[in-house]
């Protein structure tokens, strides 16, 4: 990111390595430095989708997600929306906690988001409307109506995860923590337009790059592990893209 100009990137979607939950070949990252660099490289109105959850250490959730969100705010981002990535089929948990069904999906924006194409759904509603005529007794008769209308979806997004579901690309499963592709599609379509520049600072198996390629966005990415870069390269090639 150090080589990326200021105000350059339209959209980031990423999932950082958090709380040392997994040991990605021993690499670590400097959260504050990276958050500040993200602020610098984002265009005004650009949006960062930061997908993160807490580990439980010594019986307590770490609070890392909240601390990171507040740090992003401190350095100038807006916490535009705290969305939830709901896992339809989470890993079962033992002990005295409910199953961990979700991760946070923070939307941080550099000023007011410049692009928003909300996902909508068709809803049916029934009700009484339109006074039709007066009944003999003078009471009011209302027409029973059934209508459909489009409305924005809520900010909890459910996805099924796991082998063969998160992606059809077999090679991606050589990485331990891949995004479900549909999550990236939904967020990228919401916050970007064709040809926008998308960046993933923790690219892993290259899900962001693949989706950007298929949705005709431009993309750049960073990944520290050579092993994962090779996975991303092959995955891109299998999907008609390439990495320079």
- Which parts of this chain interact with ligand SAM (CB under 6 A)? 15, 17, 24, 27, 29, 175, 177-179, 202, 204-205, 207, 222-225, 228
Is 77 or 228 the residue whose CB approaches ligand SAM more closely? Answer: 228
Smallest gap from Cβ 190 to ligand SAM, in A, equals: 17
How many helices (H) and strands (E) the chain has is answered by 5, 11
Residue nearer to ligand SAM on the CB measure, 68 or 205: 205
* CB of residue 223 to ligand SAM, shortest distance in Å: 5
Tokens of 123: 């809803």
Question: For residue 233, which phi and psi values (nearest 5 degrees)?
Answer: -60, -50
- Of the two residues 196 and 200, which places its CB atom closer to ligand SAM in the complex? 200
Q: Is 179 left (phi over 0), alpha (psi -120 to 50) or beta?
A: beta
Which of 15/64 has CB closer to ligand SAM? 15
> Which segments of 24-83 does DSSP mark as H helices, in order?
31-41, 64-74
Instruction: Provide the token pair at 3.
Output: 């080589």
Nearest approach, Cβ of 34 to ligand SAM (angstroms)?
7
CB of 174 to ligand SAM, least distance (A): 10
Q: Indicate the helix (H) or strand (E) that contains 212.
A: helix 207-214
CB of 30 to ligand SAM, least distance (A): 7
Q: Give the residue closest to ligand SAM by C-beta.
A: 204
Nearer to ligand SAM, 45 or 102 (CB): 102
CA angle 16, 44, 118 (to 5 degrees): 70
Q: 78 and 108 in contact (C-beta within 8 Å)?
A: yes
DSSP-derived 3-state class of residue 73: helix
């Amino acid at each position: 990111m150090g080589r990326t100009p200021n105000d350059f990137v339209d959209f980031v979607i990423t999932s950082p390595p958090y709380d040392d939950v997994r040991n990605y070949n021993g690499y670590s990252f400097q959260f504050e430095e990276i958050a500040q660099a993200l602020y610098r490289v984002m265009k005004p109105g650009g949006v960062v989708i930061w997908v993160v959850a807490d580990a439980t250490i010594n019986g307590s959730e770490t609070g890392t997600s909240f601390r990171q969100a507040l740090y992003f705010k401190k350095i100038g981002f807006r916490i535009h929306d705290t969305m939830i990535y709901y896992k339809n089929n989470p890993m079962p948990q033992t002990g005295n906690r409910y199953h961990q069904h979700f991760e946070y999906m923070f939307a941080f924006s550099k000023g007011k988001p410049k692009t928003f194409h909300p996902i909508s759904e068709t809803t049916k509603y029934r009700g009484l409307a339109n006074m039709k005529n007066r009944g003999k007794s003078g009471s009011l008769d209302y027409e029973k109506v059934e209508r459909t209308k489009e409305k924005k979806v809520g900010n909890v997004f459910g996805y099924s995860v796991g082998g063969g579901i998160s992606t059809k690309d077999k090679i991606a499963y050589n990485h331990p923590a891949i995004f479900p592709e549909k999550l990236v599609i939904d967020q990228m379509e919401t916050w970007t337009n064709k040809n926008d520049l998308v960046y993933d600072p923790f690219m892993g198996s290259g899900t962001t790059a693949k989706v950007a390629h298929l949705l005709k966005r431009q993309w750049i990415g960073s990944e520290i592990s050579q092993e994962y870069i090779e996975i991303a390269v092959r995955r891109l090639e299998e999907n008609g893209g390439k990495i320079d």
